[in-house]
Amino acid sequence: MAGAMTRRSALGTFGAVGAALATGTLSIGTPARAQAQGQSQALGLQESVQDGLKRVFGGRAMKDGAALIKLDIPPIAENGAVVPVSVEVNAPMTPASHVKSIWIVADKNRIPIIAKATLTPEAGQAFVGANVRLGETTDVRAIVEQSDGTLLTAKREVKVTVGGCGG
């Protein structure tokens, strides 16, 4: 048992290594600098829905995706400040063909492009859910961008009884 390590010597060794790492005398690779995500250039801008869609998607055509996109949002929102919405896309999630991003757009909001989720094939399922704020009765759209650049869209009208954007 000459080479056996005791609990006390193991803890001492780990403590010394920890102290060396903390003081910088021992390093394991170069640590990456932590950075907060900046505000997306596509979200949070006060503009018309047409201007926002043109800015984000350019002139690309959007196909009717009602057969593939399940947009779940209540038809009447009692309180526009908190409206639950979920988007599920019945599409493959393989490296060759997958949903790249899901956008949620409220046509009559001052800030119409209200959410974006970026997905990878590892997600396994194209689904996103959120609570959104609606200022008035409006169409809410789900826009799905596939890995090949195809844009699909589905929309539903939501009647808002109490406004969520100062109404």
pLDDT at 165: 59
Entry pTM:
0.72
What count of Cα atoms within 13 Å lies in the side-chain half-sphere of residue 113? 24
What average pLDDT does this structure show over 133-153? 95
Decide if pLDDT at 7 tops 60. Answer: yes
Tens of pLDDT along 24-34? 555 455 444 44
What would the two tokens of residue 48 be? Answer: 């018309």
Q: Name the helix (H) or strand (E) containing 56.
A: helix 49-57
Instruction: Judge contact between 27 and 21, C-beta under 8 A.
Output: yes
pLDDT in tens, 47-59: 999 999 999 999 8
pLDDT value for 38: 46
Q: How confident is the model at residue 19 (pLDDT cuts 50, 70, 90)?
A: low
Average pLDDT of the segment spanning 36-53: 72
pLDDT surpasses 80 at 112: yes
The label of the residue with tokens 């503009």 reads: 47
